[in-house]
Structure 1
Amino acid sequence: MKNYKFFINAIIGFAILIGVWQFIVVAGDYEAALFPPPSLVWEGIVSLITDGTLLVHLQVSLLRFISGYLSAVVVAILLGLVLGRIPLLWGVIDPIVQVLRPVSPIAWSPFIVLWFGIGNIPAIVIIFIAAFFPVLLSTVAAVRKVEPTYLKVAQNFEIKKFEILRKIIFPAVFPYIANGLHIAVGTAWIFLVSGEMVGSQSGLGYLIVDARNSMRLDLVMAGIVFIGVAGFILDRAVGLFENWINRIWGRQSA
């Protein structure tokens, strides 16, 4: 029932968006070459799907995203679990993180290209940087909020530190980590597309740049639609993973 309601709301929302889009085109009397209407963009979407162009670029972008995102999540969670348990060490590292965190991953692109060359690796590194800090900070903050009583009870039972981390700390902090995972999905996907628009020869970002250079704004808008839909699906996938973990730990009903 919940999914059905979400589906209905999504249809209504997109219908309103398309209606406003069409109204702006008509009211502003824009030429199709400058601001393509929904019907022309739909034709562009169909053409990109039927000729296989979308599949090629989408596969490349998803491969880069998954590689960079998953590696960042694993490293950030492991570091966060450790640093959150050692306040003295985190006190030294925290200022460094706060200085590096606001720097756009794209700003590192000249060095990334010099160090890793041209290809998939630079885009993966950019995604890693974009996803790393939100997950790290949410993990550290969550570990520091774990109820001390749980840890004292575990110590009284002489449970090993690794088991405390695996059975007590990680389940307790996961809901907070999940927020970081959602934020990281959005930021990493944005910077993936930005990185592909700067120095790649494939991917959804390159698709937009190539269409712009050809003055095919209908395909530019089609690429924007694909990027938005793909980002939405990725965010929902993280939500489904979160619900699955919560069901395993008995935090919500199936």
Structure 2
Amino acid sequence: MQQSNSKLMRIVPPVLLIVALIAIWWVAIARSENHIFPTPPEVASGAWALLQDGTLLQHIEASLLRVEMGFGLAFLVAVPLGLWMGWVSGAYFTLNPLFQMLRPISPIAWIPVAILWFGVGDFSPIFLIFVSSVFPMMVQTTMGVRTIDRRYLRAAANFGVSRWVLFTRVVIPAVLPEIIIGMRIGLGVAWLVVVAAEMIALNSGLGYLIMDSRNAGNRYDLVIASMIIIGVIGLLLDGLTRLLEQLSIVKWRYVR
């Protein structure tokens, strides 16, 4: 019973907040007599029309596919590189200054370079997603290795395990929580960047849908609907990533 109440307390307040914001939005539009900005029913009607003819799903699939490819490539590069930099001091002190110099550069600043290198096809947003998500995962993984509690390493050393076994059986499991945090940050940035890239250089995806709706007769109902869908998908992606935190191999580091 107590567990059920706890779940309700986590669900009910945010739902009530969203309902209240929608109500405020609806009342504000009705009182202002603004005929340009859409009401919630108009947004829902526009989104439903796109859903019925399949256009909305096509744009969602295009955006998700680009994020999947760019983020997947970033993961394959960032995690092994981060583990190596965290484990080998020479690699860390050699490469870290370069990556710390590149990391603050906004992914949006890479858009002209991406278009110059890859044109206006799918490779440009995939590259931008890669650049935006590789650094958070790499830095988080590196710091996770370098901040491992030395008790684990000393305990393993007392058993005379090899350096390779120490790395694979102790270091990697211990750093998994930090890797997941890096994945959450990287995935959030990747989803943000793909929408921005689609506004500029593509003819499909949710970012393109926003710009196309704005230019095609000021369809602000579709603009707002696209923005809401982007937010909902971002929330779902973060929730899926957080499920990894429930794995037993991830939890063991926090056992006292």
Q: TM above 0.5, one fold?
A: yes
Residues 1:234 and 2:226 are matched in the alignment: no
Letter in 1 for 2:21: L
Residues 1:121 and 2:123 are matched in the alignment: yes
- C-alpha separation in 1, matches of 2:73 and 2:166: 24
Unpaired segments ≥5 residues, structure 2: none
Residue deviations 1:54-113, cap 9 Å, x none? 110111111111111122123111111110112233123222112211111222222222
Deviation (angstroms), 1:244: 2.8
- C-alpha separation in 2, matches of 1:25 and 1:162: 64
TM-score by length of 1: 0.90
Superposed, which structure 2 residues align to 1:50-89 within 5 Å? Answer: 50-89=52-91
- C-alpha separation in 1, matches of 2:117 and 2:247: 39
Where has structure 1 moved over 4 Å in runs of 4 or more?
Answer: 2-5, 245-252
Do the aligned partners of 2:209 and 2:226 also contact (CA within 8 Å) in 1?
yes
- C-alpha separation in 1, matches of 2:100 and 2:250: 34
Alignment equivalent of 1:8, drawn from 5, 12, 26: 12
Deviation (angstroms), 1:234: 0.4
Do the aligned partners of 2:84 and 2:91 also contact (CA within 8 Å) in 1?
no
* Match in the other structure for 1:28: 32
* Identical positions, percent: 37
- C-alpha separation in 1, matches of 2:51 and 2:230: 14
- C-alpha separation in 2, matches of 1:3 and 1:64: 34
Residues 1:184 and 2:203 are matched in the alignment: no
Unpaired segments ≥5 residues, structure 1: none
Letter in 2 for 1:192: V
Letter in 2 for 1:7: I
Residues 1:149 and 2:151 are matched in the alignment: yes
Q: CA RMSD in A?
A: 2.1
SS at match of 1:102: coil
Deviation (angstroms), 1:245: 5.2
* Match in the other structure for 1:223: 226
Letter in 1 for 2:72: L
SS at match of 1:91: helix
SS at match of 2:142: helix
- C-alpha separation in 1, matches of 2:75 and 2:31: 46
- C-alpha separation in 2, matches of 1:250 and 1:144: 15
Letter in 1 for 2:20: I
Structure 1 pair 229/11, CA: closer, same or farther in 2 (3 Å)? same
Structure 1 pair 67/161, CA: closer, same or farther in 2 (3 Å)? farther
Equivalent pairs counted in the alignment come to: 250
- C-alpha separation in 2, matches of 1:245 and 1:101: 32
- C-alpha separation in 2, matches of 1:118 and 1:194: 13
